Amino acid sequence: MKLLWTQSTLDADKIKATQKEIQALRTQIRDTQTDMRIAFRNLLTPEQTSKLLASGFCRDGRDKKGRGYGKGKGAVMARNKAVEIGAPNARMSQEYEINS
């Protein structure tokens, strides 16, 4: 997109088409994220769900302090929270990382 905007002559149709393509991809990403969150919640027992909700986790994919998912400390903390509440496969992924 940046490349299109930095041309000496702008191609409005191409810019708009690229913008629509980007929006469609972002929508697909949000839909996939929603599907994954639903699948994760459906794996939890009622007790695990209660613990998760009480912790303030899963509000827009962020914990109480506003940290989101992703690389670095936030991802480790999210996985540790999943291990803490006993989420299925969380401990397995933690062991895989340690052994990798």
pLDDT at residue 79, rounded to an integer: 66
- Better-scored residue on pLDDT, 30 or 90: 30
| Mean pLDDT score, 27-36 | 94
Q: Is the Cα dihedral 35, 32, 93, 74 positive or negative? A: negative
Beta bridge partner(s), residue 68: 62
- Better-scored residue on pLDDT, 91 or 14: 14
Rounded Cα distance, 32 and 26, in Å: 10
Could you tell me the residue ranges of all domains in the chain?
Answer: 1-43, 45-100
Question: How large a percentage of the chain has pLDDT more than 90?
Answer: 40
45-83 per-position pLDDT tens digit: 999 989 888 887 656 555 555 555 555 555 566 666 676
